[in-house]
Structure 1
Amino acid sequence: MRRLTSLSLLVGTSVMLSMSACHKDGGGLFGKKKQASSATGWNYNDQKMGGFSVAKNVNQQTGPGLVFVQGGTFAMGATEQDVMGDWNNIPRRITVSSFYIDESEVANVHYREYLYWLGRVYGESFPAVYRNALPDTLVWRSELAYNEPLVEYYFRHPAYNDYPVVGVTWKQATDYCKWRSNRVNEKLLMDKGLLSKADVTSQSDDNTFDTKSYTAGLYEGTPGKMSKSTKDQFKNPDGTPRNAAFEDGIMLPNYRLPTEAEWEYAALGYIGQNPGPSKKEGKHGEELIMNKQVYSWGTNTSGLRDIRRGTMQGQFLANFKRGSGDNMGVAGGLNDRASIPGPIRSFYPNTFGIYNMSGNVAEWVLDVYRPLTPIDGDDFNYFRGNKFQTVYQNENKEFEKDSLGHLKMRDVTDEESANRLNYQKGDVINYLDGDSLSQVEYGYGITSLVNDKSHVVKGGSWNDRAYWLSPGTRRFMQEDMATNTVGFRCAMDRVGSPEGNKFKTGNLFKKQRQKR
């Protein structure tokens, strides 16, 4: 096993460098002919001049299953009257950076692919890894209902391949996101010829591809044809081949659960109310911030689509429960045509092109639940749940892998954070709500059902009334619990231009002529 003795080789695993999203050269580091530093004049990717490797400006490609969500400012929180009396979604204006989110919920077939990989790689040496990832199919069971066919068939029968996976805990959902990140990045490296495709069936135990382990030099994979080529970009200063780093722009950021703010912003799809930027630089749409719409598919505050031609009049645009005992309507005139969750790309997508942000299944998000977070969180990229980590180093200052091949991480201590200006503790889950500063205590199981393992659930489900379909509503559940109404979808950070790959960052103007 190879080990590192220098933290510099892990650049990019803790801090993601934002790659410029300019057109071609875009006025970036490289001109059409020169590949030299504008600061020092030394050449990049030149072994005779130190071998400092710099990739050409590249745009972030869209990962499998994702759609781009252009960020912006919106009013997060309640739309309708708080009929539950929880007072846990107070409207508040915040800004969300651009990001990516799954077009649809994670389906049974996607999750079975994950289980197949776990069984193939860890089945003999660590069978508990596979068992712990299994969804709980007993969530369909009820004391006063005949749901045994769903217990037996919903997850595994091919008729339900494209139906959203349920019975998955928050912890299982986050583990799936990590697995998906590694599989996507592994394939990107294989497609570029930096890893051999022969590794696909040879991985096992602690020698499985993990993005962070790979960038730290701890993954013992077979180099591909590109690694053996004469390209200076993938060579160390001494001429020996090196692994790709995030600075090369090949690998993608991690898949993860969306934050509550991201999920709600994506669900509202306000881009449909704003003309947006044109392809000509400098021409932008109006800065419209309209009243909160009720449901995710709306293009106006009433939540209705354009029905002038009558094509959608009377049709259900989401999968939900219309009233007590009415999950699908009457035979011959079914309203939403789904008694349980429907296929992940059924029902009406919103203006970002995202399916089932209202109805079908409710979804886990990344946040730890607190009842008053809308008034004590940041107004930029709001999120509660930070427990900062850094790379683990042994007594010899070497990085290590765990038994499953993942790079070992450790929690940041309060001592390490004490002298910082931006945070003073490593675990800030309870910051301003549950700590000594807030003078708030959550006596879980005594005075409250809220603790640090309570995570937010967003969106209504097939078995919920219309109230829960509004993106501003929020509920919570313990991270080790699951139901037949909750699934999940993944998200990913966006690096580069917040307007997408066709646009530059910032307002650009012609250089003024200097008077002499």
Structure 2
Amino acid sequence: MKFYFASSKGFYVALLAFLVMSCGKSDKGQLVGVEGKKWYPEKPYGMVLVKGGSFIMGKSDDDLAGVQNAPPKTVTVPSYYMDETEITNSEYRQFVERVRDSVIRQKLAEAAELSGDADGNEEGIQRYAFKNAGNNDEEELSPYEEFSKHYDPLDQALNWNPKIIWDPAQYPDEDYVYVMDEFYLSNDQSYNGRRMLDVTQFKYSYKTMDIDAAARKKGERTDFITEQEVMVYPDTTVWIKDFNYSYNEPMHNDYFSHTAYDNYPVVGVTWGQAKAFANWRTKYLNDFRKKKKEANVNFFRLPSEAEWEYAARGGIEGGTYPWGGPYAKDDRACFLANFKPFRGDYAADEALYTVEADAYEPNDYGLYNMSGNVAEWVNTSYDPASYEYVSSMSPNVYNSDNKRKVVRGGSWKDVSYYLQVSTRDYEYSDSARSYIGFRTVQDFLGNSLNLN
């Protein structure tokens, strides 16, 4: 009994909390807080958790040339998830095909609506009609549909149930033929007997808000919201344009489309396409979670320059490369990354172009190819003096007017200097290259001190 008397206050508080939670009808005048659904951190598929912390960002003092644009600076970054590998052709193709199919289904649904045969042959183009097609003014509307200014009767849902028919011999009717013909290049633009899609027609549209500008400037909210429209197919001609007097047609023809390269990093994507992919990935997952009535997850996005370097170092303070350094070979004289050794011998590391995204050993955070293979876009605008003025807490420079965006990690065609985790480089945001890809991150929701 002495135990209960000594703990009587804690006992009654616990008992009151139990009664409040179990009854669920009254808080009995106590401040118990408003609780939402229990949140369990869920590691996204193919990502690893990078626990936040502080590190010395930038070049060491003995690299006098590099110190000019990357002087040592102690910074802190919060926790986040990062893709284990660079985004692969297979993963990016999922984005491309989803956008491609949605554009085609939109056109098929519009054609079904215009055909005026809503009660006709369901085996023809009508099977692709909008899900809520056929509503008329005589049907009873819900209060939301009738009175809300947010309800848009023209915002109709695509029907994803029937498969798109790609074989011309199986096209079901005349309307279907007309729609599909619009998505293919004309015969005089095709060759080798192949019907080729007009990839310029497949664009992904999404809205973004410049929250930093909105917080610092006056104006209407709409002043800071822009709609982006991005072509989703990668530019395969980069394999030709990046190299003069060089035979790279096989890479141009097959690298993105052939299953042999499924697990290789996607290239030929601009900074804008990488950001569009991240936006789509967020929407794709949250649409699925919404159906299950689960809470939304944080946005997928490109990492900041500081986040990229912190992850690349893998917890090795002062390391030259993700594996430490200072050499690009191990103790058995094997190369530790895919790059251009000896200033010209591409094949010395047994890889002429790119390699699989999970080739070589990961760093201590479990991240593959943070150096070499392909350089990576980050969500930072390039300013050679930025280390002098950025914040020490989650630093980043993002200037929409600055088209130079930072790329990190070096690539299969670079010398080892660009593989160093502190080396900075840039490319213009509208440029696509055969040696630049990307990976995404997602902010961790929770207290980084209590991670398991």
Q: What TM bracket, shorter-length normalisation?
A: 0.5 to 0.7
What is the CA-CA distance between 1:325 and the residue it aligns to? 2.6
1:77 to 44, 58, 79: 58
The secondary structure found in structure 1 opposite 2:297 is coil
1:367 and 1:122 mapped to 2: Cα distance?
31
Rate the CA distance shift 1:55–1:337 in 2: closer, same or farther, 3 A. same
In the alignment, what sits opposite 1:467? 417
Please say if 1:339 is aligned against 2:339.
no
In the alignment, what sits opposite 1:149? 250
CA contact (8 A) 2:60 2:71 kept: no
In the alignment, what sits opposite 2:152? none
How does 1:392-431 map onto structure 2 within 5 Å?
A: 429=399
CA contact (8 A) 2:328 2:335 kept: no
CA contact (8 A) 2:59 2:66 kept: no
How many residue pairs are counted as aligned between the two chains?
A: 316
List runs of 5+ in structure 1 lacking aligned partners. Answer: 1-26, 45-51, 195-243, 245-249, 274-289, 330-335, 386-428, 431-450, 503-516
1:253 and 1:132 mapped to 2: Cα distance?
24
Please say if 1:313 is aligned against 2:332.
yes
2:319 to 278, 286, 293: 293
Please say if 1:254 is aligned against 2:267.
no
1:150 and 1:342 mapped to 2: Cα distance?
13
What is the CA-CA distance between 1:41 and the residue it aligns to? 2.5
2:341 to 322, 337, 343: 322
Please say if 1:137 is aligned against 2:87.
no
2:352 and 2:336 mapped to 1: Cα distance?
15
Task: Return the TM-score normalized by structure 2.
Answer: 0.64
CA contact (8 A) 1:62 1:68 kept: yes
The secondary structure found in structure 1 opposite 2:371 is coil
In the alignment, what sits opposite 1:91? 72
2:28 and 2:445 mapped to 1: Cα distance?
24
Rate the CA distance shift 1:160–1:498 in 2: closer, same or farther, 3 A. same
CA contact (8 A) 1:317 1:348 kept: yes
2:442 aligned partner, one-letter code: M
2:203 and 2:427 mapped to 1: Cα distance?
23
List runs of 5+ in structure 2 lacking aligned partners. Answer: 1-12, 108-200, 205-229
Quick check: which has more Rg, 1 or 2?
Answer: 2
Rate the CA distance shift 1:148–1:472 in 2: closer, same or farther, 3 A. same
1:38 and 1:90 mapped to 2: Cα distance?
56
1:355 and 1:480 mapped to 2: Cα distance?
26
The secondary structure found in structure 2 opposite 1:174 is helix
1:488 and 1:384 mapped to 2: Cα distance?
18
1:163 aligned partner, one-letter code: Y
CA contact (8 A) 1:295 1:469 kept: yes
CA contact (8 A) 2:58 2:70 kept: yes
Task: Return the TM-score normalized by structure 1.
Answer: 0.57
CA contact (8 A) 2:269 2:436 kept: yes
2:426 to 460, 476, 482: 476
CA contact (8 A) 1:258 1:366 kept: yes
Rate the CA distance shift 1:32–1:463 in 2: closer, same or farther, 3 A. farther
CA contact (8 A) 1:96 1:381 kept: yes
Residues 288-345 of structure 1: CA distance to partner in whole angstroms, max 9, x if unpaired?
xx4x1110122xx64689x7xxxx621111111102331122xxxxxx3211111011
CA contact (8 A) 1:167 1:487 kept: yes
Please say if 1:384 is aligned against 2:429.
no
The secondary structure found in structure 1 opposite 2:407 is strand
CA contact (8 A) 1:135 1:167 kept: yes
1:174 aligned partner, one-letter code: K
1:136 and 1:93 mapped to 2: Cα distance?
38
CA contact (8 A) 1:71 1:99 kept: yes
1:41 to 8, 19, 30: 30
CA contact (8 A) 2:20 2:28 kept: no
How does 1:491-502 map onto structure 2 within 5 Å?
A: 491-499=441-449, 501-502=451-452
CA contact (8 A) 1:114 1:176 kept: yes
2:402 and 2:75 mapped to 1: Cα distance?
24
What is the CA-CA distance between 1:169 and the residue it aligns to? 0.2
Q: Which has the higher contact order (CA 8 A, sep 6+)?
A: 1
In the alignment, what sits opposite 1:225? none
RMSD of aligned C-alpha atoms?
2.9
Rate the CA distance shift 1:42–1:75 in 2: closer, same or farther, 3 A. closer
What is the CA-CA distance between 1:348 and the residue it aligns to? 1.4
Rate the CA distance shift 1:66–1:34 in 2: closer, same or farther, 3 A. farther
